Amino acid sequence: MSPLDRRSFLTRSGLLFGAGAVGGVGALVHERNQADAAPADSTQPSAVVQWRVSRGELADRIPFSVEGHQAGILNPAPAQATFAALDSFARDQTVLREALKALSVRARELTVGGATALLETDAPPADSGILGPVNEPDALTVTIAFGASLFDGRYGLSSQRPKELVKMPTFPVDDLDPAQTHGDLLLQICAHQRDTVAHTLRELLRAVRGSFQLRWNIDGFSGAQRGPTPHNHPRNLFAFRDGTANPPTDDEGLMNELVWAGQGEPAWAEGGTYQVVRIIRQHVEFWDRVGLTEQQNMIGRVRSTGAPLGGSDEFEDPRYDLDPDGKRIPLDAHIRLANPRTAHTADQRFLRRGFNYTRGFDDTGQLDQGLVFVAFNQSPERQFATVQKRLNEEPMIDYITPVGGGYFFVPPGVRGGAEWVGSGLFPA
């Protein structure tokens, strides 16, 4: 194949564009209209077409940072998400700094939305344009986090490493695939609409091309709010409601105790949080071949209502104090091991904000579905890892396989226009 002659390509596309208006493209449009038997005047929309997306939702704007924290942590998870881990190939600290700045600035711009910049028409457009000439914010959040490897010797940042930021350890139930684990940087992109998420990832990668390269990427979604009330949590792919016992995010004091890092951290990291991501495959075919009683005993909740076993309401206290022997909720049930609800374990709780995923099927024809588990916590050692170790013995481990993810640190949010995520790492 001969190398593409850039100049003649440009010329040809110009010619084709000109010709299309007269013959080529016009002929195609004509044929399609005939095939679909469309009305002659295709500019008149049919009366029955309704908006499938609310204008209000597309206009939802979530500030890039609020009160010193990045978005995408406390605000409720919207329908769509993607997680992209990147590795840095920036030559030195200066290039790294510029790339991080470009990433943060572009991310902030996209969360605000607005008309995309127009350049000369012979230049590649500044924005891919897949959302049209105006990017509506659509509740977009971009949460930028750093992996432990960013603080190795390469960029002179080792003394700035958040004190608990390490490579995620391998837990006994794990079967981690290096190609889906760890990374120098993590982008968590969330929005109402899938195309907003896809657009954002594409634009952000473009902003840091050459400096950051994709290491792994996984798309997530939330179950729809199916009630019975808007308070009831959507379900994971084992069909159980997920997120019921989350600490309330409007309790600022509790968030200071459980989510935000501060004490003992380097000054730049105060107000940040540790983000644990676990890509947990759920063996759904196997799960569906298990009796309901066994499923419910593994989780500790009633599948339909989400109530603790023996209860009737999703938000009901499981009253472990009345069931010390596990006659109602087995002692190794997931909810009981994850959160024993004692004063002693209260500071081990963390904020979960996971998404379901489905990504085709494996070589043996089994669906590749599961959970992108996300935990925000003040101390992964005190919180996530402590809970995870308790879960090593739960019967549910036969039905899941954690295959990837990592430990990351979400820097504090930006204050004022001059700051960007991570700017505190590089004092002027």
Number of residues that bind another protein (CB under 8 A): 39
Candidate residues 27, 59, 66, 292; the one interacting with another protein per rule CB under 8 A: 292
CA-nearest of 61, 101, 106, 80 to 419 is: 101
**Contact range with another protein by CB under 8 A, out of 95-103, 198-206, 317-325, 415-423:** 317-325
Here the tokens at position 293 are 């009683």
Do the Cβ atoms of 198 and 130 come closer than 8 Å? yes
**Does residue 123 belong to the site contacting another protein (CB under 8 A)?**
no
Rounded Cα gap, residues 232 and 226, in angstroms:
8
| Residue selected from 153, 230, 248, 253 as contacting another protein according to rule CB under 8 A | 248
- Amino acid (1-letter code) at residue 68: G
154, 328, 382, 390: which one contacts another protein (CB under 8 A)? 328
Beta-strand relationship, 355-361 and 367-377? antiparallel
Give the tokens for residue 28.
């195609």
Is 230 near another protein (CB under 8 A)? no
What are the residues whose beta carbons fall under 8 Å from the beta carbon of 292, sequence distance 6 or more?
303
Asked if 291 is part of the footprint of another protein (rule: CB under 8 A), the reply reads: yes
Nearer of residues 76 and 172 to another protein, judged by Cβ: 172
User: Does residue 109 belong to the site contacting another protein (CB under 8 A)?
Assistant: no
Residue in 167, 313, 389, 392 binding another protein, rule: CB under 8 A: 313
Among 24, 76, 125, 172, binds another protein (CB under 8 A): 172
| x-marked contacts with another protein along 260-289 as a string, rule CB under 8 A | -----------------------x-xx--x
Which residues, numbered 333-392, are part of the site for another protein (CB under 8 A)? 339, 341-343, 346, 349, 362-366
- Inter-residue contact 82 to 220 (CB < 8 Å): yes
Asked if 231 touches another protein (CB under 8 A), the answer is no
d(CA 125, CA 135): 14
Q: How many Cβ atoms sit within 10 Å of the Cβ of residue 294?
A: 10
Q: Using the rule CB under 8 A, is 318 a contact of another protein? A: yes
Q: How far is the CB of 315 from another protein (least distance, A)?
A: 5
- Of 347, 166, 153, nearest in space to 274 by CA: 166
Query: Hunting for tokens 């200071």 — which residue is that?
Result: 256
CA distance 135 to 129: 8
Residues within the interface to another protein (CB under 8 A): 172, 175, 245, 247-248, 283, 285-286, 289-293, 304, 308-311, 313, 315-319, 322-323, 327-328, 339, 341-343, 346, 349, 362-366
